[in-house]
Amino acid sequence: MVSKRLVLTFPHKLLDKPIVYQLVKEYDLVFNILQARVMPNEQGLLVLEITGNKENYAKGVKYLTDLGVKIQPLSNDVRRNDARCTHCGVCISVCPTEALSINKKTMKVDFDLAKCIACELCVRACPVRAMEVKL
């Protein structure tokens, strides 16, 4: 038996398809939706906990990737290096969960780790590499 937390990114063309339901029906997997969101670029983002036997889990993941769903493991290891951050705000527009937001009082960028799903989009977007993956 395996149980994993995954970040699934769906292309726009798959948003109205009952894809996750197929994981239950065809692969006997149990899932728990931790977060669901349509991002500004019209991709869908789902954070799921998927549980099932190892073979079915592997088949289910293959089914999703064959359809074009991007899958990343969920980890809570993204941090901000505050000494580097210039509060430029670039990361706010890419963050799908509003873990990064402008603080209207200080006009600085706040990072709320509790909302972070470790998708790493900000890591790639930050021009000064202030968002870091802790290994």
Choice between 1 and 41, CB closer to ligand SF4: 41
Choice between 23 and 91, CB closer to ligand SF4: 91
Q: Using the rule CB under 6 A, is 118 a contact of ligand SF4?
A: yes
User: If DSSP states are collapsed to H, E and C, what string results for 38-102?
Assistant: ECCCCCEEEEEEEEECHHHHHHHHHHHHHHCCEEEECCCCEEECCCCCCCCCHHHHHCCCCCEEE
φ/ψ of 50, rounded to 5, equals -115, 130
Q: Which of 97, 119, 92 is nearest to 8 (CA)?
A: 119
The residue type of 119 is C
Choice between 67 and 92, CB closer to ligand SF4: 92
Contact 119, 99 (CB under 8 A): no
Q: How far apart are CA 5 and CA 50, in angstroms?
A: 6
Q: Using the rule CB under 6 A, is 120 a contact of ligand SF4?
A: yes
Smallest distance from the beta carbon of 107 to ligand SF4, in angstroms? 11
Smallest distance from the beta carbon of 123 to ligand SF4, in angstroms? 6
What character string, x for contact with ligand SF4 (CB under 6 A) and - otherwise, covers 64-103? Answer: --------------x-x----xxxxxxx--xx-x-xx---
Choice between 23 and 121, CB closer to ligand SF4: 121
Give me the residues that bind ligand SF4 (CB under 6 A), please: 78, 80, 85-91, 94-95, 97, 99-100, 109, 116-122, 126, 128, 130-131
